[in-house]
Chain A
Amino acid sequence: MSLAFDEYGRPFIVIKDAESKQRVKGLEAQKANILAARTVARILRSSLGPKGMDKMLQSPDGDLTISNDGATILEQMEVENQIGKLLVELSRSQDHEIGDGTTGVVVLAGSLLEQAEVLLDRGMHPIRIGEGFEMAAKVAHETLDSISEKFDFSKENLEPLVNTCMTTLSSKIVNRCKREMAEYCVKAVMAVADLERKDVNLDLIKVEGKVGGSIEDTQLVYGIVIDKDMSHPQMPKNIKDAKIAILTCPFEPPKPKTKHKVDIDTVEKYEKLAETEQKYFADMIQQCKDSGANLIICQWGFDDEANHMLYKNDLPAIRWVGGVEIELIAMATGGRIVPRFVELSEGKLGKAGTVREVNFGTTKESMIVIEDCAKSKAVTILVRGGNRMILEETKRSLHDALCVARNLVKDNSIVYGGGSAEIACSLAVEAAADKIKGVEQYAMRAFADALDAIPLALAENSGLAPIESLTKVKSQQVSEGNRRLGIDCKDAGTNDMKEQYVFETLIGKKQQMMLATQVVKMILKIDDVITPSGYA
């Protein structure tokens, strides 16, 4: 640790308690950071692409996650290194913005840093490298625009969308029934999409999971699913044209907040009390009945007596529905949440086409499905799976596919996948580099090399000879001028990604390159890392 001295020879204290802190400076700091980032990227590298491998992650509580979704892996990995955390953030922001390509962005960042390290060794200044990367990213951006194509689909012809979702799902565990899953996703997105405004509110799509059954039992529900059952086992399980009273008051005698006491000292009073009590229940039920409701959804519990009387009065009821779900139901059915029985009126009832209780398999579990809601187009994808692990992974995969479908509805420009876009960009950057004067030229070439890492990893993960396949495709792209050629991961016998239906959204790809470049620039700019050593 270097020390500064004042004119009397006493050391300046620049950092408090400097002895107990670790400090890395200059080139060493950059190298250390790059190493950390590369380690993270290396972990993810083998998960890239349709044949990517999975990672098994054991949480602090011993729960198991098996996933090949970049964002999930990084999130569950509990990275402690600061630079590692940056990459976790990077993949998370890709996940939030686009929802797909979370692995790709980290791998790209890692490979950019790898290239930067070589340049650093040659004595290039980190800022110049960063600038070179920026210029290269711009070229790549333009190239992406030029090779992008419009993607045609309409409400009648959803096939292309389904194919895209299938591409996304093919690398996941749900591979086996990707066709069905892709269709669910597209249908769900189309159900809530506003095609005129090109807007999709993903909040309206709920992905619910319930352990049990197999993945094939997954279903799409045009409505809301709640994990509850009818309060009385003998209530009707299927209600058509439901008029729903949504209550947040319990079917119990009132409990005033003010402290009070009712003293009973005579037999008459005692009998009166018992009578009043019964009247309470009768009144509550009558009020519900009068409003014209034929289904009660209540946030609180019922008394046994109330429960039976509801049943007697043909008022099926669901109790203990959570606050969030109550709100969702109210929004979807157009009903009002009623906090007191006296305020119940016909206008405040929610409406739904059907409400039914669905039973599952041999286990005695059931759920309530509210369909054809009056107000909203909310849809639910009800995922079934043998165990929690599969369920969670399926949910994540569906989320990715939903995002892809949404992005296409928002902006239907696409680029082809399988590394074809990266190869095209790499070629373009390489060509542009020669025209640049100055050290940046090297940085741009490095950027081009870094881009090659994606198709290389794809080929490697698919069990192909990486360099051989890459060079072959690259030369083909140049000689044939066909920018759609990529790595044939699926052994389909063609390199043309259009024929294989492998494509990604233009925004997604652009975002990937932008984010990766930015993070790399940021990491390169760090020249001093101060950490408290150890946890004292």
Chain B
Amino acid sequence: MKCLLIASESAEVLFHWSDREYRQNIQEKYGVSQEEGEGLPAFEDILSTLFAPIIISCSTLEDSYTSFTTENNHIYVLHQFDECLYIAVNGDGEEKEDDLRRKLYVLKKMVEVMFGMVTLSGNLLRRELRPQDTEQRARLWKYLQSLLETYSLLRENDQSFLVEAVERLIHPQLCELCIEFLERRLVQQLNSSVERAGEEVLHAFVLVHTKLLAFYSSRNASILSPSDLLALIVMAQNMYPSNVDLDDMSPEDTESTSGSGPENFYTPEPSPSSRSSSSSGKAGRGETPVFEFVDPEIQMAEDSLHTLEINPPDPASPRRVFLEVSHKDGPFPMMPHSMYCLSLWPGITLVLLTKISSSALAISVYKYLEEFDKLEKRLHEGHGGPASARSPLNMQDIRSKMDKFIKSLEPHDLQYAQLQNVWAEFKSRAFSRGGSGFNKDLIPWCKNMKTQLCGIYRQCFLTGSLSADVTHRLSAGLQERAQAMVREKLVDWKDFLLVKSKRNITMDFPGLVHFICVDRATGQMIAPSLNITERTTSELGKGPVAKYIKNKVWALVRTTRRYLQKGYSTVTLRDGDFYFCYFLWFENETGYKLQPVEIPVLPDDSPPIGMLAYDYYNRLLRYCSKSHKGENVKCYELLTVHLGVIPTEIILQHCRQLASKLWEPSRNPLLWRQTRLRHSSKGQGQMLFTPLEPQRRGQIPGLGFILLNKHWDVQKAFRTGQRLEVVQTP
């Protein structure tokens, strides 16, 4: 009994997803009020009819609804993102209010990754999310629906999506090997090939299921944020699902993915979730060791309502994704990239992210959008225009830049002409003598300009991105070669990696049942696996006990988030036979524990605490840095589950040991305290290097550390013999 929908203010359904129970429920509700004999209208129209009173009421009330709970515990969560109202419903008790809110935010994030700045214009987004062409609409919705289902499955089963941090495979040698290969062989070769068609590989990473084996960013690339990386993992998982659920299947089912058995397409039992059937097909396809690109669209399971046959688009076409880029002028959200997702073996995937040739345009569009947004706000507030001395907006400057920008565009399509017209109109109203000048009358024109800019952006980066635009992408042959290269490199490690991904880390504390450690500065987590299936055992054993503990861990994370939201950074709970601890603390680079700051108390309907849809920790770190000026603040979290009979002192001792041990380099280099590189003007690095304890300073090997941000430069510098200045942070 789950449902999720996006509606416009006029109660038009822009997207919906629901499971079979909910669909039946809604159809029955609707059927009762309808005449006999008439066929049911499209499901989205039924939803629109039934939800209309809620949607319309939302825009009537000044203080908007955030949730409803009924006596039979149906939960409705609502959130207005700009002009779109998102509603999530649960009627089976499996999700709580915060889960639903998180789902809304994740959907929003996915929409942003897919549509970029088009989301900034309500009008354009509406058209984008609900294409006129029903076939196109069905295809798009199915893709989004399967993304949502993939996300939900990951959130319910994968600890890294529970805490929203990336999990690394802990094997330093292999990581190093792999990263070196990505850098020296793969990316270098790709970027020097003529077949890359103007694209440049910025990031390359290898995923083993959802865990990261190696991540390489090219020198020109900016940091890939944890939020974006997590979103990309969801997309990769959606394309090549690692069978989290496979373990639950019967033995003959799994053979097709075991890697040794004959290719064996199985048919799972029909289930309301369309994912299982799609995963089987993909798993089977992934078997064939030759290059094969499977577009996600054709993998989408049949929906009971829409059974359209979709022509598979060109399999070699990448997916357009919009990711945040940090530039020297600051961060730019939603910059266009192409994502190539190449399956190496079932469960192991190579992902390439490329910069597309015209991406500079996106930065300009974003800058102008911001300018017009600022102007609009000022006009709303009733401030004067550029004439007033207080105005920080230099409209004349913007004017000339904008003129140049428009000239630089290719003047051959309709969108261009529209932008030019609107800009001309804007100028005549704003700058000319006869115009109204900078007052409230200009607001609609500001809006119009923004819409036009979004339109240009859409024109450049969205239309055609999904179609077979062969000229602007890595050629199929090049992709095939890349895939073959990595395959060859990793072939001996393949089975090891798949096993390793299930047994990443073990622990040796008597009485400790489970733990999760998260480094929030880098968005990485580490935890013993929690596979709870009949046939595989984890550190927790198997069967109902493991399932019980898993549920407890999931509940604990929800609970601690609730407390964190209200400003509590330490929580211990005695619950049933278990004792749970949660700690969040800050350190500087040297590992010194920083004085705690009062963590802001947030309202109940604030964005979910996590990193995927909304980077709460990034904001927390920035907030904390304010009171620790000049320090590179780190934030760590530790969750533990102990048996309740263990004395509290011992439990705390364990927690303390875990907190320090897990970040010891020998144990887990991936979580090694990050070194930080500051680019000096000569392009040479100045390294601020401070390991855990001063005496360990000599130990930093640099090599093999695969870091998610600029820090990769350090190791690269080491290897290339670049001079690095080691400076102790004050």
Q: Do A and B bind each other?
A: no
